[in-house]
């Protein structure tokens, strides 16, 4: 809803690495809208874990933020 306001502060991508409960490693990226200086990596990791559980039924045990651009 307020994405147009957040875009005034910037937008980019966050690269991450996650490990599922059965040992599979996933490397991916997600879009980010807003001020990158206020990025809370714990919140991003928590959101990634929840999205994987809800959308794909996967249990994620570890998330690491690689970089953002």
Provide the token pair at 57: 């039924």
Tens of pLDDT along 14-56?
999 999 999 999 999 999 888 878 888 899 999 999 999 999 9
Concatenating the DSSP letter of every residue in 41-57 gives HHHHHHHHHHHHHHHH-
Widest pairwise Cα distance in the chain: 41
Give the predicted TM-score (pTM) of the model: 0.77
């Amino acid at each position: 809803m307020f994405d147009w306001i957040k875009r005034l502060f910037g937008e980019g991508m966050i690269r991450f690495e996650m490990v599922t409960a059965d040992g599979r490693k996933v490397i991916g990226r997600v879009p980010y809208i807003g001020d990158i200086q206020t990025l809370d990596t714990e919140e991003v990791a928590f959101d990634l874990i929840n999205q994987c559980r809800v959308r794909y039924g996967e249990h994620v045990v570890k998330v690491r933020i690689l970089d953002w651009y």
